[in-house]
Amino acid sequence: MDKKIIDVGGARNTYPHATHIIDIMPKPEDCKLHYTQMDICSGRWNYLDKEFDYVFTKDTLEDIKDPFFVCKEISRVGKAGRIVVPSILTECRIGIDPYPNSFKYAGYCHHKWLCFTSKGDTIIFMPKTPLTLIVDWTKGLPCKNSPEYIVFDWSDKVNAMEIIPIDWEYFYLCLSRYFVYDPLNIDKGESLNMEFKNVYEEKKWIGGYGIS
């Protein structure tokens, strides 16, 4: 029996082994695959639980309004799969967007989320803010140590988490600790609210929601 493989957001650059596609874009005229056109964030997909042997998605979750919901649906309809998203190193580097004046901001202008993994078994989403865009957090990091994509393989279910910074101090501390870089030179002094700093140290700043 042939495997059923779905590409989520695959109207363009479709996964070569896909048998199905779900995408908000209209079906391409030359597409011969099973195709569902819908907003993948809008509600339950019209597929059975564990209907697909493999679920593939690339360059999609960072664009959409609710990647956490989509991860739930991916987990529901699939037995295993691969998620490919731009790395946090890509999204925090100035001048990578192919548009004019991209030297003035970091990452891709149409992307909504920073994506990274925890211990290789959880994919984490954190919303982009002006603090992401106006600072080159990767300053000083060699390009060879900055992979363009994160490749996240999963089986049975997708473990996903959304980080919810309550205030800019939390967001700043998260990025400054991740990149070991303090562009505003405030993490070492008292100008950063110490109550926020203490809460960060206790890891209470993370709003995590796992998929059961």
Do residues 119 and 188 share a domain? Answer: no
Full-model pTM: 0.84
Closest CA to 72 of 47, 44, 48: 44
CATH code for position 61: 3.40.50
Question: Residue 179 contacts by C-beta under 8 Å, 6 or more apart in sequence?
Answer: 92, 137, 138, 141
Least confident among 19-28, 97-106, 139-148: 139-148
- Give the integer Cα–Cα distance in Å for 60 and 49: 22
Structural domain for 174, as ranges: 167-204
Do residues 125 and 156 share a domain? Answer: yes
| 171 and 129 Cβ atoms separated by less than 8 Å | yes
Count CB atoms within 10 A of the CB of residue 33.
16
Instruction: Look at residue 178 and give its three-state secondary structure.
Output: helix
In a domain, 24, yes or no: yes
Do residues 47 and 123 share a domain? Answer: yes
pLDDT of residue 55: 98
Do residues 102 and 182 share a domain? Answer: no
Count CB atoms within 10 A of the CB of residue 75.
21
- Give the integer Cα–Cα distance in Å for 189 and 185: 8
In a domain, 174, yes or no: yes
Closest CA to 35 of 43, 25, 44: 25
Do residues 171 and 85 share a domain? Answer: no
Do residues 28 and 107 share a domain? Answer: yes
Least confident among 5-19, 49-63, 116-130: 116-130
- Give the integer Cα–Cα distance in Å for 210 and 208: 6
Q: What percent of the chain has pLDDT over 70?
A: 84
In a domain, 212, yes or no: no
pLDDT tens-digit profile of 67-76? 999 999 999 9
Q: Is the pLDDT score of 155 beyond 70?
A: yes
Q: How many domains, the chain? A: 2
pLDDT of residue 167: 75
Do residues 115 and 11 share a domain? Answer: yes
- Give the integer Cα–Cα distance in Å for 202 and 69: 27
- Give the integer Cα–Cα distance in Å for 73 and 55: 10
Do residues 156 and 173 share a domain? Answer: no
pLDDT tens-digit profile of 83-114? 999 998 889 888 889 888 888 899 999 999 99
In a domain, 59, yes or no: yes
In a domain, 73, yes or no: yes
* Mean pLDDT score, 31-47: 97
